[in-house]
């Protein structure tokens, strides 16, 4: 399919460009959530999987602020900004958790320190001191000194399944190009937007 019919095809082209030109982590994206009170919240995460059927996946702690917000209100918006290219990609859609098998496969691919860190961090909750975190890391490193480090039950992937994907390209005089793909049954409709 051409990139006029398939936003995933356009995303792959743009992501390849970003990999070639961004100095660091082109897979970094902002994820915006809102809890039951409707108040927005936003932070950066790393895209770890993407594609039709896959949507856009990141991994985190389900008990973190974003985790509890997504459990209460499973919708999110994602934003990539590739400054070196003058491009942004905006994505919106419902959110679900990846399968246990997919989460295990990704968790097992991470380095040992990150797997221990996932156990040691009560992400987004108050931390008494840096020393308390270091003690927790040491305790879990001792507990899982040999063999596989299991995946914590509260650590998994969230999948944003896009209903809308907008590609924004900087142009002179603020006459930027905006291409908005909207999910339409099994396909997508494309419209241009004023900048
Ligand atoms: C470039 C970048 C990438 C990040 N990637 C992740 C990630 O993949 N998962 C994650 O849980 N936090 C990641 N973080 C940290 C989050 O931005 C955030 O501090 C943390 O997840 C807690 O957010 P919350 O309190 O809103 O849940 C990243 C931060 C930066 C700056």
Q: What is the mean pLDDT of each run of 10 residues along the chain (195 residues)?
A: 85 98 98 96 98 97 98 98 98 98 98 97 98 98 95 98 98 96 96 98
Instruction: Give the residue numbers annotated as catalytic, written as ranges.
Output: 174
* DSSP 8-state secondary structure symbol assigned to residue 86: T
Closest atom of ligand 1 to 65 CA is 27
Beta carbons of 138 and 146 less than 8 angstroms apart: no
Predicted confidence (pLDDT) per residue in 53-84, tens digit: 999 999 999 999 999 999 999 999 999 999 99
Question: Vertex 185, ends 30 and 35: CA angle to 5°?
Answer: 35
Give me the DSSP letters along 181-193.
Answer: EEEETTEEEEEEE
Three-state DSSP class for residue 69 = helix
Predicted confidence (pLDDT) per residue in 157-181, tens digit: 999 999 999 999 999 999 999 999 9
CA pair distance 23, 88, nearest whole angstrom: 16
Handedness of CA 80, 81, 87, 92 (dihedral sign): positive
- Of the candidates 126, 121, 125, 183, which has an alpha carbon nearest to the alpha carbon of residue 152? 121
- Of the candidates 155, 149, 91, which has an alpha carbon nearest to the alpha carbon of residue 123? 155
Please tell me the predicted confidence (pLDDT) of residue 5. Answer: 86
Instruction: Please tell me if the CB atom of residue 121 comes closer than 6 angstroms to any atom of ligand 1.
Output: no
User: Nearest residue CA, atom 22 of ligand 1?
Assistant: 124
Please tell me the predicted confidence (pLDDT) of residue 2. Answer: 65
Please tell me the predicted confidence (pLDDT) of residue 3. Answer: 73
Please tell me the predicted confidence (pLDDT) of residue 1. Answer: 60
Helices (H), 28-179: 65-72, 100-109, 112-120, 130-143
């Amino acid at each position: 399919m051409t990139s006029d019919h398939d936003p995933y095809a356009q995303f792959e082209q743009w992501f390849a460009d970003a990999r070639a030109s961004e100095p660091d982590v082109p897979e970094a994206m902002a994820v915006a959530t809102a809890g039951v009170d409707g108040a927005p919240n936003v932070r950066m995460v790393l895209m770890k999987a993407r594609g039709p059927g896959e949507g856009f996946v990141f991994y985190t702690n389900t008990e973190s602020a974003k985790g509890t917000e997504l459990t209460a209100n499973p919708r999110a918006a994602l934003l990539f900004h590739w400054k070196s290219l003058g491009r942004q990609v905006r994505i919106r859609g419902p959110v679900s958790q990846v399968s246990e098998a997919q989460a295990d496969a990704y968790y097992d691919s991470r380095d040992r320190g990150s797997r221990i860190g996932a156990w040691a961090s009560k992400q987004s909750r108050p931390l008494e001191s840096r020393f308390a975190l270091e003690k927790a890391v040491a305790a879990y490193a001792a507990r899982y000194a040999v063999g596989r480090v299991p995946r914590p039950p509260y650590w998994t992937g969230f999948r944003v399944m896009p209903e809308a994907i907008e590609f924004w390209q900087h142009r002179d005089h603020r006459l930027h190009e905006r291409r908005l793909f909207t999910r339409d049954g099994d396909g997508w409709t494309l419209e241009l937007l004023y900048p």
